[in-house]
Amino acid sequence: MEKYDYNKFAEKFIDDAHNLLNELEGKLLELEQDTSNHELIEAVFRAMHTLKGIGSMFGFTIISEYTHHLETIYDKIREGLLAINLPIFEVTFASVDHIRHLLADQHLKNQQLATRHAELTQQIEKLTGSMELLAPDQIKSPEEVKKAKAANLSTTWYIQFICSEDFIKRAINIAFIFQDLAKIGEYNVFKHSPEIQDQLNEQDELWGIRLTTQATFNEIEEVFMFVSDYVKIIRSSKPSSLPNSDSTDINDKSQFLSIIDMAIDMGSEPEVIRDVPINAETGSKERELLRPSLKIPRISVGTDKLDKLMYLVSELFTTRSELVTATRNSDMTRIKVAVEKIDKLSSQFRNNALSIRLVPLRELSLKFKRLIRDLSNQLGKNIDFVVEGDETELDKNLVDNLAEPFLHIIRNCIDHGIENPEGRKANDKPENGTIRFVASQSGNYIYIQISDDGNGIDKDYIRTKAIEKGFIQPNAHLSDRELLELIFLPGFSTAESLTQVSGRGVGMDVVKRAITNLRGSVEIETEKGKGTTFTIKLQQTISIMDTLLIRAGKMYFAIILEEVEICELESHQTLCDRQNNHLQIAGDLLPFISLRNAFAIRGEAPETERIIVIKRQNLRFAIVADSIIGQHQAVIKPLGSVLMHKEYLSGASIMGDGNIAFMLDTQKLSQIVTSVKESNNAFSPPLPLLNKEGKLVQR
């Protein structure tokens, strides 16, 4: 077989294995909460078993063996021979991490990893206790118990898996096949020894699967339905019980069957299993080749989205030929129709493309579950983790980049927020602390709240600390919000004692920076003794946005459409007469900002100006412009470093006619509105507001 193809295949295994490990971890966490749940035990066992199966298939022998040991524990648990307890969980969680490392370094080249491997293996052995750990040649052993029960009815099947180039190209997920196999019976996978391979006279790579099951031929066939071209299912002459190496009496079997039996036997011998598809010489090289390609991040996409994509592609091609024909016939009406269709299609394409990039936040919440479990054990705090809305979807890029800052927030919650059980009792709080992770979507925005019911942040302490560190003057007057903002400053770590968990100098400034880089914002609310809430707001996707295009003078501006509440008309004169920059719109008195004045745009304002009411969370204000152009699907381009300090502009977009429209950062504009309202002191550079004469305030 070609090396390259094999690598691709192994890469797929690593991918699948990571998914399996995530699934396993999730189930383990659930199981820890509900130790008597048999279904969960089964699920954990199955995940391990599948991992073991596909592991040996791809020559990840060490992983396969290791998982086998681990699986033994759970097999004993489900047989009721072993009670589930904390040490078991500890070892299992540690093993999950360990296997993740093994996936990167499956031959234990790293000495540290090798030591760890030995350590863990020993721990597992201790747990399995009297039951001697079986060498992989008896890989069937955990299943043996089960099999013994059904021995009378079970048959052993030999399934030959032909791994041709063609099969690899089809990129079938064999993990599913093994999951299905596990449902009908016990199986193990082995690699044929070279001599068997010769005797079987096959050109392609072969794997053997030994299956012991009560299922009928048809049922087995069903499992292999999608890969039926690549498998041969043969009923083995072997007795259904575990084949022993000395039971190779061939008797009157045909030569073929005996070869198969030999194959089965050889397959169960450790030497053969170790004879992994990669030969020793090229092995390490291939691994290295494999590594860079591993870095390509993958994403799993719902088939509905792909179906939609295919539908769109077909529509596009139909419309394209319509357009070609119409152009040839110079049929303007039909050309117009086709162009309209393409217009519609392109926005559907955009939505589809963006939706493909979306992944649920669950990916993150699972990680957090694990972190909270480990940390709370470590710190002797009891913490419940409540997750709500983790099905909310977010751009893959965002999710990947959020893990770090979120972990940091959660670490802080556990370490500084939640008190130890005694402290909580003393404060009349339930002994278990709670950390909530709540996600919700509002329009194009995602709100994520991470909150704890701990001590809250001591504002006086922040104040003292800030003065001490020279961040603020001792007599500075700061609002609560401003005071809390201080913890986002670099070098501001409020941890009273440096603990291992947090307060290592990298502080909340990292969190703030990471989230700001993703065009998000983070806010803190805290109440002493009650807890702290971090609210993170993010745009679901950041590349293309629906905007409203407006004009002031010769300049074009774009506002995110979802922030626009209503558009109104008002005469220029009325606006000039408003001395306090407030305007009555639909019964409410709203502050307004004139773009002409704010950006010192030359020229006379039209007699009637447009009022665009912006709604941001709990703040409403109005923007005054010359005219409204209409809707614009903006591909947002960065302004570049020269213009980056333009606070009120968050980017630019090139319009259909080649002109450039600027994205208004309504967040920044709203801050001006509030600061004008609160302190009558606009941000620097001072934003000129309408003066009494309604003339430009020159800078």
Partner 1 sequence: MERTKNKHKNVFLSFRLGKETFAVSVKKVLEVLQQQHITEVPDVPAYIKGVINFRGDILPICDARIKFNLPVQDNDEKCVVIVLDLQNNDQKIRIGAIADGVKDVISIEETDIRPVPEMGLKYNAEYLNGMIKSGDSFIMVLNVDKVFTTDEVNVINSVSPEQD
Which of 473, 659 has the CB closer to partner 1? 659
Cβ proximity to partner 1, 292 vs 656, nearer residue = 656
Q: Is 114 in the site for partner 1 (CB under 8 A)?
A: no
Map the footprint of partner 1 across residues 182-221, applying CB under 8 A: none
User: Given candidates 145, 426, 498, 660, which one binds partner 1 under the rule CB under 8 A?
Assistant: 660
| Helix or strand holding residue 693 (H, E) | none
The mark string for 530-559 relative to partner 1 (x by CB under 8 A, - otherwise) is ------------------------xxx---
- C-beta neighbour count of 17 within 10 angstroms: 24
CA distances from 575 to 316, 378, 567, 625 (A): 48, 62, 15, 11
Site for partner 1 in 556-595 (CB under 8 A): 556, 595
Q: Residues with Cβ < 8 Å from 239, sequence gap 6 or more?
A: 156, 247
Cβ distance to partner 1 smaller for residue 535 or 671: 671
Q: Which residue lies nearer to partner 1 by CB, 484 or 663?
A: 663
Question: Out of 475, 497, 641, 684, which residue is the one contacting partner 1 (CB under 8 A)?
Answer: 641
Q: What share of the chain is helix, strand, coil (3-state, %, to 5)?
A: 50, 20, 30
Residue nearer to partner 1 on the CB measure, 295 or 645: 645
Element (H, E) at 108: none
Q: Does 642 bind partner 1 (CB under 8 A)?
A: yes
Please check whether residue 202 is in contact with residue 164, taking contact to mean a CB–CB distance below 8 angstroms.
no
Least Å distance between CB 641 and partner 1? 6
- Choose which of 648, 666, 670, 689 interacts with partner 1 (CB under 8 A): 648
Q: Tell whether residue 650 is a contact of partner 1 (CB under 8 A).
A: no
| CA nearest neighbour of 156 among 200, 187, 192 | 187
DSSP reduced 3-state for 406: helix
Which residues in the 34-93 window bind partner 1 by CB under 8 A? none
652 binds partner 1 (CB under 8 A): yes
Of the candidates 171, 195, 643, 695, which one interacts with partner 1 according to CB under 8 A?
A: 643
Q: Given the rule CB under 8 A, which of 6-14, 430-438, 596-604, 615-623 is the region that contacts partner 1?
A: 596-604
623 binds partner 1 (CB under 8 A): no
Is-contact 671 684, C-beta < 8 A?
no
Distance of CA 375 to the CA centre of its chain: 21
Binding mask 666-695 for partner 1 (x = CB under 8 A): -------------------x----------
Q: Which stretch binds partner 1 (CB under 8 A): 128-136, 368-376, 451-459, 644-652?
A: 644-652
CB of 610 to partner 1, least distance (A): 17
* CB nearer partner 1, residue 157 or residue 556: 556
Comparing C-alpha atoms, which of 531, 483, 538, 496 is closest to residue 514?
538
Looking at the Cβ atoms of 297 and 640, the one nearer to partner 1 is: 640
310-329 burial, b at 16+ Cβ within 10 Å, e below that, comes to eebeebeeebeebbeebeee
Smallest distance, Å, CB 684 to partner 1?
12
What CA–CA distances, in Å, run from 63 to 47, 69, 98, 232, 451? 13, 10, 9, 27, 38
Please state the closest distance from residue 554 (CB atom) to partner 1, in A: 6
CB of 521 to partner 1, least distance (A): 22
Residue 467: both structure tokens together:
């003065």
User: Taking CB under 8 A as the rule, does residue 178 contact partner 1?
Assistant: no
Q: Report, in Å, the least distance between residue 555 CB and partner 1.
A: 6
Using the rule CB under 8 A, which residue among 599, 612, 634, 690 binds partner 1? Answer: 599
Contacts of 209 (CB under 8 A, 6+ apart): 158, 159, 160, 161, 181, 187, 188, 189, 190
* Helix (H), strand (E), coil (C) string for 426-464: HCCCCCCEEEEEEEEEECCEEEEEEEECCCCCCHHHHHH
Q: How far apart are CA 274 and CA 60, in angstroms?
A: 9
Q: Is residue 148 within the footprint of partner 1 (CB under 8 A)?
A: no
What does the chain come to in residues? 699
Q: Which is nearer to partner 1, 250 or 660 (CB)?
A: 660
Q: Shortest Cβ distance from residue 598 to partner 1 (Å)?
A: 7
Residues 603, 653 contacting (CB under 8 angstroms)? no
Using a 10 angstrom Cβ sphere, with 0-12 exposed, 13-18 middle and 19 or more buried, the burial of residue 124 is buried
Q: Which one of 638, 674, 691, 695 is in contact with partner 1 (CB under 8 A)?
A: 638
Residue 13 vs 648, nearer CB to partner 1: 648
Specify the residue for token string 């054990």: 377
Select 73 or 652, whichever has its Cβ closest to partner 1. Answer: 652
Nearer to partner 1, 311 or 683 (CB): 683
Q: Quick one: tokens of 230?
A: 């690549």
Q: Tokens 């690593």 map to which residue?
A: 14
State the virtual CA torsion across 45, 47, 50, 56 in degrees, nearest 10.
-90
**How far is CA 30 from each of CA 23, 34, 52, 306, 680, rounded to the nearest angstrom?**
11, 6, 22, 32, 54
Q: Is 601 in the site for partner 1 (CB under 8 A)?
A: yes
C-beta closer to partner 1: residue 252 or 657? 657
What HEC string does 546-610 produce? EEEEEEECCEEEEEEHHHEEEEEEEEHHHHHHCCCCEEEECCEEEEEEEHHHHCCCCCCCCCEEE
**Is there binding between residue 630 and partner 1 (CB under 8 A)?**
no
Pairing label, strands 588-594, 619-625: parallel
Choose between 190 and 662: whose C-beta lies nearer to partner 1: 662
Among 135, 171, 498, 600, binds partner 1 (CB under 8 A): 600
- Smallest separation, CB 582 to partner 1 (Å): 23
Q: Which stretch binds partner 1 (CB under 8 A): 68-76, 369-377, 451-459, 640-648?
A: 640-648
- Chain positions contacting partner 1, by CB under 8 A: 554-556, 595, 598-601, 637-643, 646, 648-649, 652, 654, 658-660, 662, 685
